[in-house]
Amino acid sequence: MSAAFAPRAASTASASSPPSDTLTHVELTHIEKRIENWIRFGHHAHEQLLDRRRRILSFPPGSIFAFVRWASNDFGTVASRLDIVRCVAPGEGYQTLPFVRPGGEILLRVDGWPKVEKILQHIDAIEATGIDAATVAPDHWGHVAHRISVGFEPRAYTIERHQAWLKRRECGQ
């Protein structure tokens, strides 16, 4: 993994507030050169440290986060995955995902380091424009997933498109 793709996640809560039942919980593990699960973007509401190598981040309903999973053995990388997930409210349907309880709406899923790297670069490009990747229109992540799956470059997410999404969301659409 490259240092350019180091984990970055923002917190909006204190470490002492307990998680509620409406939150989506993501278990993160870091065992050097073996297992690295991390959040690339997203705003968690609670963090629980389990031990030196494991922690649980909890996200409120409606929030969006990017979950990167990487694993290797003595012969090299065995798994590289990136999922962009929207947290669901109680009663909403959801898809299950390893290390995510109860699950969420998977907006984008890619396997293999070359595709994961492309998505990380796309996220970096969005953030370079000053847009928080956690606030990007959910349908954009679907667009990116479809374009990457057929070998095309996704369209850039512009400030104009983001402003249109914010107005659409404001209207309740």
Residue 30 included in any domain:
yes
**CA angle, corner 94, sides to 93 and 96, nearest 5?**
150
The range of the structural domain enclosing residue 136 comes to 6-14+22-170
Extract the tokens encoding 41. Answer: 């973007």
Residue 90 included in any domain:
yes
Residue 63 included in any domain:
yes
Burial of 98 (0-12, 13-18, 19+ CB in 10 A): exposed
Residue 102 included in any domain:
yes
- Domain count for the chain: 1
Residue 65 included in any domain:
yes
106-156 residue pLDDT tens: 999 999 999 999 999 999 999 999 999 999 999 999 999 999 999 999 999
**In 10 A of CB 122, how many CB atoms?**
21
27-70 residue pLDDT tens: 999 999 899 999 999 999 999 999 999 999 999 999 999 999 99
Mean pLDDT of the chain: 89
Residue 1 included in any domain:
no
Residue 84 included in any domain:
yes
Residues 6+ apart with CB under 8 A from 58: 19, 23, 24, 25, 26, 44, 45, 46, 47, 48
C-beta of residue 159 within 8 angstroms of C-beta of residue 131: yes
**Packing angle between helix 113-128 and helix 138-149, nearest 10 degrees?**
140
63-86 residue pLDDT tens: 999 999 999 998 888 999 999 999
Residue 34 included in any domain:
yes
Give the global pTM.
0.86
